[in-house]
Copies of this chain bind each other. A is one copy, B any other.
Amino acid sequence: MTKTPIQLNLRAARAKAGLSLSKTAELTGVSKAMLGQIERGESSPTLATLWKLAKGFHLPLTALIEDLAQTPETASPAQNHVVALQGSIRFRTVFAFDPILGAESFLLTLEAGQSHVSQPHDTGVIEDVFVVSGEMELLRNEKWHRLQTGDAMRFHADQSHGYRNLSDGTAQFYNTIHYPKTGVFTRPS
């Protein structure tokens, strides 16, 4: 008999707090009988009841209803996954997209004179740019912003944006893309 996340999570929260059904009922305001029904999968709680549980245990709702799997540990050596983009811009995947964290990270290299304009991502996508070395510019809201080594910017990537390097040297930036809950299933390549 497969158990649902709410069954497993409620039992785990209760065990972690070392509470019986009776004590949990006092803590959350949900009856002892209903708690037992939820844990045994005999009843599907309403959102109002879920809120009582979350509030009583001081947990966000997602901690009760979602399947909390584990993000694996990863080593990413410097020589990993270097690819070319559009015949010129180089990028390397530092951390591949992780569905639990909802994010992925790249190291991008802009040689002197190179530029790149990105298609807007889906609604709610947030992008971080941290300049590792060199000098570059970031296009946001039709305006170029100059960034130097150590500068960083966070912006809404669901709008048109781009990168360029007008300096004489090479620029590199560490680029993290955060996908919202609503958008993870439509992640572009």
Which A residues are closer than 8 A to B by beta carbons?
Answer: 6, 44-50, 58-63, 65-66, 68, 71-79, 94-95, 101, 103, 105, 107, 124, 126, 128, 130, 132-133, 145, 148-156, 174, 176, 178, 180-182, 184-185
Contact = CB atoms under 8 A, between A and B. Distances in A.
B174 A130 contact: yes
B47 A6 contact: yes
A59 B95 contact: no
Count of this chain's copies in the oligomeric assembly: 2
B58 A185 contact: yes
Contacts of A77: 150-152
Nearest to A9: B182
B65 A47 contact: yes
Contacts of A148: 78
Contacts of A45: 46-47
A156 B73 contact: yes
B181 A150 contact: no
B63 A182 contact: yes
A48 B4 CA distance: 11
A96 to B, nearest CB: 10
Nearest to A131: B78
A185 B58 CA distance: 8
Contact of A174 (B49, B59, B174): B174
A186 B95 CA distance: 26
